[in-house]
A and B are shown apart, each in its own frame.
Chain A
Amino acid sequence: MKDIFILLFRSKRFIVGFVLFLAVLSFAIIGPMLNPKNPFQMVGGLFTPPSDKFILGTDNLGRDVFTQLMYGTRTSLLIGCTAGVIATSIGVTIGSIAGYKGGIVEEILMGITNVFITIPSIVVLILLSIAIKTRSAAVMGLVIGVTSWPWTARAVRAQTASLKTREHIDIARITGFSSIEMIVLEILPYMFSYIFMAFILQFSGGILNEATLSMLGLGPYQTVSLGVMLHWSLLWEAVRTGAWWAFIPPVICLSMTTFSLMSMNSSMDEVFNPRLRRS
């Protein structure tokens, strides 16, 4: 484990990603603690430009963009993380059972997975978001999570199918482990690095999906997220009226978050996958 961290922190890309992610995280978590303002409070006018009073100006509702950005990033991270945890859990469960059991169980589970893959997840997401009446941040995370697991399931199935032919599995099987025990104790630990990477990918995907949905006006109610900020600035034509402060900061935050997650993911891939590892 220690070796892995040493290897990881040798990768410049990982360090860049990690530091960026820490910066975003502290902005979203520590920021609101140091600056405990209400992000919904209408403190200024319509698109007031940045000034000493409002570092990043105000939005179409006269709300402080900087405060919104802190709370918005927090909501986006929360939604992304929830979606990531849910999608990874479903994907790993289905993938590992299918891969380990094989036969008819595998056929059925992978059949379901393939059906999910063929339906564009954005369509399902939109339909679900319209159908659900109370769209809180947690519900959004759930909706995104339950529509984005299939790729993880397929990859985990492949990994499990290859792992289960290993000798230690045969030994465990002789000792009389149940299927669940086999998967949890003997197979998943070998895939931990992969699962973690899949989670990071789902995490960043969740953040982007939230932004997409929110920009379409299907975002969470009664809360502010990066996507919701972009949505209001689009609706109020911030681009045409030159109110750059209403849409550039959330875009930067969104790109920084996903970039940091993606670069951590790809550098982990290099470390965990010996074939990609640079000398």
Chain B
Amino acid sequence: MNNFKEEAIVLKKVSVSIMSILLIFSLLGSVSFAQAPSQLPRTETLYIAGMQWGPPTTFNPMAPSPAWPNNRGQDPLIYETLFAYNLLTNKLDPLIGESYSWKVYQLTVKLRKGAKWQDGTPLTAKDVVYTFELGKKFSLAHSPVWDFITDIKAKDDLTVVMTLNKDRPHKKRLETYLGQIIIVPQHIWSKYDSSQKTLQEYTNTEPVGSGPYKLAAFSPEQIVLQRDDNYWGIPYYGKPAPKYIVHPIFKSNDAGNLALERGEVDLSQQFCPEIWKMWEDKKLPVGTWYKKEPYHIPASIPSLYINLHKKPLNNPLVRRALAYAINYEKIAETAMSKYSPPAKSSLIIPVGVPEQKYFNQEDVDKYGWKYDPKKAVEILEKQLKAKKGSDGIYVLPDGTRLGPFTAECPYGWTDWMTSLEVVAESARAVGIDVRTQYPDAPVWTDHRNTGNFDLLMNTPAGGYTPAHPWLRFYEVMEGRGVAPIGQVAYWNFGRYSNKKVSSLLDSAAKIEDEKKLATIYRELDRIFMQDIPLIPLEYRPGWFYEYNETYWTGFPNEDNPVAPPMWAWGGIRKYYVIKPKK
């Protein structure tokens, strides 16, 4: 009996071992099969990081989340946009489009002569019209362009004419779309446009674009692009330097940052804490746009959204006390790893970007706030007549305790999590109970859109466009068209509403006179500072831009501003100006 038992055990062990070995081999096999061309010449290959997380599933630019580089707001490497927005000049550089001009409400776009698709078919105005109309026919990322135009026509092969919607005559916003909408070839996409489902489910693993690169290979580990030496734009723009661009797909930030430090990655768009140590302490050939703080160009304002309909946060004085309590210097230093100047109480970014000309320090001093815990306590005690409870938290005269308020952001967004930790700590220090919570991103999105939150971190009008700062004011303060709390809203998540703001926004959209525009922005910012619909916490670069010059040199930077430090649109120029290191 015992022998039998032992035999059974031995058999079991042997079979388990065999199974495990088989499993390991099959895993190894799948990994090696999935590897893309492995031995690419290092001197001709540029390795980049930070634009793709998770395995690529589709390269269809019409899908909700296509893989790099075919997503909206990424470098136009395979597919191109009409124009390429340049953050440094605040202009749209030519790409497929040569120029554009306005005639009252009519926008005429001239296309480049000789533009063609990678399969040799000419790229004409019909492709442009077709792409725009896809957005009218189906609900796609670029569909909102139809809020701003009423029709689009191909006048001839090289001319596209659009008519601006007279009800929303905001030229800058339409221009923004010229630089964002990825143009697709009609002769290929017409096979898939029978329904929204067929259009979006097409995985497009052999994309035919008009850009300077083709998709060479992809796997869950990396995406490889190969230069198209027949690119139509070579006579206009020259040839990009790397023959191959490889995007290894890292599991986490630290893996990618370590690769950058070792020179395995040449160019990175990842948040990399204390990057200056790489050149100051470790003497590595690493650089960022600025050599000194803030190292990157600030381009967005991650902010603390406040639920304006929840008691006691609906009281502007409570919001003001909270705004005075937050230690913005600390956020800039810790959460942003010094990549941001301390946030000011304005919806206009004061440095780096084109909108800085509208920033008004006098108004900020007069109507705004800054880190001043004493002032916060003064507001609480003198203006609100709140009394401190035995637990150190203030209670309003009507018995409402100031908290606990939950402040949330998605788990894993380290810089935001740290910002909220600072918010919670500084708020508690003055007597407002703020607690942090880090749900998964979809939960956070749901809370944000439905207004089911106390305090929530989010960036209003994230990607930088020619329509900034108008777009930021709009996304923070425009109440028209915003669903009430409980229903899904796409901007103004705190549900602020003010008729005066709406009419100011309408006027600003039509005005081109710089002086008048500055006056309106000043007025809008003043209202913002008085009503505090949200609290700006930090300035985040539109993109992180970090390079290692071990294999490639000539990366653009503050001293060599030959291309903007962007990972979208005009950012494509960076591939043209770098050179392999000899």
Contacts and interface: CB of A to CB of B under 8 A. Distances in A.
Interface of A: 40-42, 45-47, 60-62, 217, 221-222, 234-237, 239-242
Contact of B330 (A40, A42, A235, A240): A42
A42 B438 contact: no
B258 interface: yes
Given A41-B425, A241-B274, A62 B333 contact: yes
Given A60-B334, A60-B418, A240 B411 contact: no
Given A217-B411, A217-B412, A217-B438, A242 B333 contact: no
B414 A235 contact: yes
A236 B414 CA distance: 7
Contacts of B330: 42, 62
Given A237-B273, A241-B273, A42 B422 contact: yes
Contact of B273 (A40, A217, A236): A236
Please give me the 5 A-B residue pairs with the lowest Cβ-Cβ distance, nearest first. Answer: A237-B254, A46-B334, A241-B274, A235-B414, A61-B334
B277 interface: yes
B86 interface: no
Contact of A240 (B258, B418, B425): B258
Nearest to A234: B254
A221 B435 contact: yes
A237 B257 CA distance: 9
Interface string B18-45: 0000000000000000000000000000
A235 B281 CA distance: 21
Contacts of B428: 40
A239 B330 CA distance: 22
A237 B274 CA distance: 10
B327 interface: yes
Contacts of A242: 277, 281
Contacts of B412: 217, 235
Contacts of A235: 412, 414, 417
B261 interface: yes
A269 B521 CA distance: 76
A42 B330 CA distance: 8
B257 to A, nearest CB: 6
Interface in B228-270: 253-254, 257-258, 261
Nearest to A218: B411
A41 B273 CA distance: 21
A138 B5 CA distance: 45
A124 to B, nearest CB: 19
Given A46-B334, A217-B411, A237-B254, A61 B277 contact: no
Interface string B388-431: 00000000000000000000000110100110011001001100
Contacts of B338: 46
A45 B327 CA distance: 13
A217 B333 CA distance: 23
A217 B281 CA distance: 30
Contacts of B303: none
Nearest to B338: A46
Contacts of A241: 273-274, 277
A128 to B, nearest CB: 16
Nearest to B334: A46
27 contacts: A40-B425, A41-B425, A42-B327, A42-B330, A42-B334, A42-B425, A45-B333, A45-B334, A46-B273, A46-B274, A46-B337, A46-B338, A60-B334, A60-B418, A61-B421, A217-B412, A221-B435, A222-B435, A235-B414, A235-B417, A236-B273, A236-B414, A237-B253, A237-B254, A240-B254, A240-B261, A241-B273
B186 interface: no
Contacts of A237: 253-254, 257, 272-273
B437 interface: yes
Q: Identify whether the interface residues of A are mostly helix, strand, loop, or mixed.
A: loop
A240 B270 CA distance: 14
A242 B261 CA distance: 13
B436 interface: yes
B413 to A, nearest CB: 10
Contacts of B274: 46-47, 241
A236 B330 CA distance: 16
A221 B425 contact: no
Nearest to A62: B334
B276 to A, nearest CB: 10
Nearest to B282: A242
Contact residues on B (Cβ < 8 Å of other chain), bracket: 20 to 34
A240 B422 CA distance: 23
Interface string B351-391: 00000000000000000000000000000000000000000
Given A40-B428, A42-B425, A236-B273, 11 more contacts: A42-B334, A42-B422, A46-B334, A60-B418, A222-B436, A237-B253, A237-B273, A240-B258, A241-B273, A241-B274, A242-B277
Interface string B64-81: 000000000000000000
A242 B438 CA distance: 27
Given A41-B425, A60-B273, A222-B435, A240 B257 contact: yes
Contact of B436 (A60, A62, A221, A234): A221
B437 A221 contact: yes
A235 B414 CA distance: 7
A239 B417 CA distance: 19
A41 B281 CA distance: 29
Among A217, A221, A235, the most chain B Cβ lie within 10 Å of the Cβ of A235
Contacts of A47: 274
B254 A61 contact: no
B420 to A, nearest CB: 11
Nearest to A40: B425
B399 to A, nearest CB: 24
Contacts of A236: 273, 414, 418
Contacts of B438: 217
Interface in B417-459: 417-418, 421-422, 425, 428-429, 435-438
Among A47, A222, A239, A240, the most chain B Cβ lie within 10 Å of the Cβ of A240
A278 to B, nearest CB: 31
B418 A61 contact: yes
B315 to A, nearest CB: 25
Interface string B536-574: 000000000000000000000000000000000000000
Nearest to A243: B274
Contacts of B421: 61
Contacts of A61: 334, 418, 421-422, 425
B565 to A, nearest CB: 22
Contacts of B414: 235-236
A20 B92 CA distance: 67
Nearest to A235: B414
Contacts of B261: 240
Nearest to B258: A240
Nearest to A130: B440
A57 B294 CA distance: 24
A48 B149 CA distance: 54
Contacts of B333: 45-46, 62
A41 B429 CA distance: 9
A45 B422 CA distance: 12
B129 to A, nearest CB: 48
Among A40, A42, A217, the most chain B Cβ lie within 10 Å of the Cβ of A42
Among B281, B334, B438, the most chain A Cβ lie within 10 Å of the Cβ of B334
Contacts of B253: 237
B137 to A, nearest CB: 40
A170 B458 CA distance: 71
Contacts of B277: 241-242
A42 B428 CA distance: 12
B570 to A, nearest CB: 30
